[in-house]
Structure 1
Amino acid sequence: MLPPPTPADEPRRLQALRSLCLLDTPAHERFDRIVRTASHLFRVPIALVSLVDEHRQWFKARHGLDATQTPREQSFCAHAILSPATFIVPDALKDPRFHDNPLVLGAPFVRFYAGHPLRAADGSRVGTLCLIDSRPRDFSDADRAALADMAAWAEGEINALDAREARTALEQQERFFEVSVDMLCIAAMDGTFLRLSRAWGRTLGFSDAELYSTSLVDLALEEDRAATAGHLARAREGLPVLQFEHRARCRDGTWRWLQWNAVPDPEEGLLYAVARDVTQARLLEEERQRVERMKNEFISTVSHELRTPLTSIRGSLGLLSGGILGPLDAQVAQMVGIAHKNSERLLRLINDILDLEKMESGRLDLHLAPTNVVPLLALALQAHQGYADEYGVRLEAVVDLPHAHARVDEDRFIQVLANLLSNAIKFSPQGERVTLSLTREDGVLRVGVQDHGPGIPEAFQARVFQKFAQADASDTRKRPGTGLGLSIAHGLVARMGGTLRFTTSPSEGTRFSFDLPECESEPEVA
């Protein structure tokens, strides 16, 4: 078998074929009628309208054949498109190009083939009208002329269909530009407008003539023009997709925020773009940020003002509970104890709020140094033993690396462990255990805290690390907490070069873990 050579005009031919928009489309009766007529006129069992692309011949219409396509290297039609005349194979078994072709030796057992090229409007030969028989036969000059006439019929349908579809596409485009809420645009690479949808006039108030006499850059506010011109320069450099925002002038002197999504076409020198008016969204976001700043500043100020007197109150209550003024009456001791515990809880809340405010404003300083983290794990477990006893939970450590070092801030590292351990203890059933582990995974240190509680509800999992997030936010929730601990832990771990994550299920509980780069210990100073 000899595979068909590639036509000299292959790129142009393929472009013409694709422009027909016929490949892999449903059957059309106008083409089916042609192959039925050809089969009857020439008394052959198979007649096809075949289109040849890079890898196959695909049948736009077929009579007497179930297959919809065959490989191009086995295709008779790929040979037929190499010349403008009818291509005839009287007996494929006697033709060295086809005698061992799978389509000859197997179904549909081609012995006779006649194909006349079909041309697109630009003259490119994109396929054939072909006849196939399982018996060898002759094909007279009159037969050739008749097949050429029928191929001209098929060509007319191909190009008429192309023209009709092109008109339909143009009408749809016109309608789209007319009714689109978004601002559609076709522009030159320098920003000169070539085509604009009606939404431009509705949004900015300019007439069509005024818009077409300006450009994308000139339409921008003066302080945004340099940046807008820079975006266009990136498009000319071949950036595949362009996304940016700028403020655009309106006819009444106001301005609107426009959000652009553009696709450059360097070969045509065009920019296809959609601009969306996002002014209201931008104003709402700016207002939200302003309110958020005011809220944070207020919370920070109040927290700072409360922390000093509350620290004094907590200290005084602690001294009273410790008996500095002598033994207290049992009822008084109970009330002082409650007040002391609540003052400590309030102070923790204030410290958490201040830590969050510092992290968000970038003012939280961490002092990272190579540190043996194993003693810090032991210290964290020891500090939470009393809390675990209160809930009837056992604490255990699994440490495979007794001398593992990482660059951490000791106090903040313990703060992260404190938040993870207190959460695990709170949500563990009585009698269960909480495991603090240190392992080496993929060359990094992994710290994990595993509980055996009910797991995190699926509806809450996406909000675990948000501020003030709690799975049970009701006034009657059974487990205390502010919803700040995990948010703070997440931020602190990130500042130390790790990522806090979790896995959870109702049957196995929840495991929080984070990885830290392992480092060598610093040499001792003599």
Structure 2
Amino acid sequence: LDTPAEAGFDDLVALASQCCAAPIALLTILTPDRQWFKARVGLAEREVPIGDSICALGIDAPDLFVIPDLAADPRTADMALVGRATGARFYAGAPLRDPSGAVLGSLCVLDTAPRPAGLDPQQATALRRLARQAAAQLELRRLLHERDDPVAPSGAAMAADAPDLLSITERHWRELFEKLSEGFVVGELIRDAGGRTVDWRYLDVNAAWSGLLGLPADEAIGRTVREVLPDTEQRWIDEVASVCDTGLPRTFVRSIGRLRRDYEGHAFQLDGDRFAMIFVEVTDRLHAARRLEALLTLGDRLREADSIAEMTRTAARIVGETLNAKRAGFGRIDLAAETIEMEPDWTVAGVGSIAGTHRFADYG
């Protein structure tokens, strides 16, 4: 309790915030009279009275403790964090357990809007794993404290074992890094003589990164993003650079044309020109949204059309643009004559039209 901030715990709450897309994340320690925040993102307070502790309500929960709408729940509606103008409306917390199973506190995330569906499965899994890492860090601190306690009978042995304890913690972090279902990147900016960011280098990537991009990790680590993905735009590099230049995290949606995939993620500064990025693939979700938007647009435009020719041209354009095609059109098949009559079609620049009559025989 009441110890200074530590980078290891600060990183955990930053990761929890990013993984769960939540503006507030806290690593809390519970006592009989207060809830103290060992690390926090998005909240100024360092502690609250135990009577205002949402985490305390879930102390007996065997797994995640979730309240979809804090303002609608009578247990939390009058709490200080909920009642303010920009107060918390959603809560999800994973317990921090010591080796005996006792709950010390929680790693939790809060949102300023209700979430009726709670966390998605990936977010829930990430929060559990991060909570386990936080508990391991706390246990390490306890062991190191016992080592330094002059009344501890095995102080010399504990001192000798300290490197082993740190090695265990490093293995915990590596296991977390590799088991995340989200892609995770640690990178470092590359600047020119004038200080402008011109590229960035992969320092580390996890297994999920390889799966999401379809590229082996050893083809990335130590290389730059322009070497791995040659069509990377300067705008994307500038967006990543702004995270280190401002110290502010950024959420992004990015298409990689070479892979024909879309990704959504969060980037945040580690220190100096080093940053971390966590992301998931959203290709199917974005394509579904585009198709729905296209259907709505198509319905509106067809109602406005004055002729069949205008309807087919409009429909061809919307379908072609939605599917990223080079040509789209509509035709009428005459089986008796073995021909197809193509209406005026839509094409991208440089692609010729195929409007007109075509015989089956001309195409084998």
Greater C-alpha Rg:
1
For the criterion TM > 0.5, the same-fold answer is no
TM superposition score normalised by structure 1: 0.28
Higher fraction of helix: 1
TM-score relative to the length of structure 2: 0.40
> When you count strand as a share of all residues, which structure comes out higher?
2
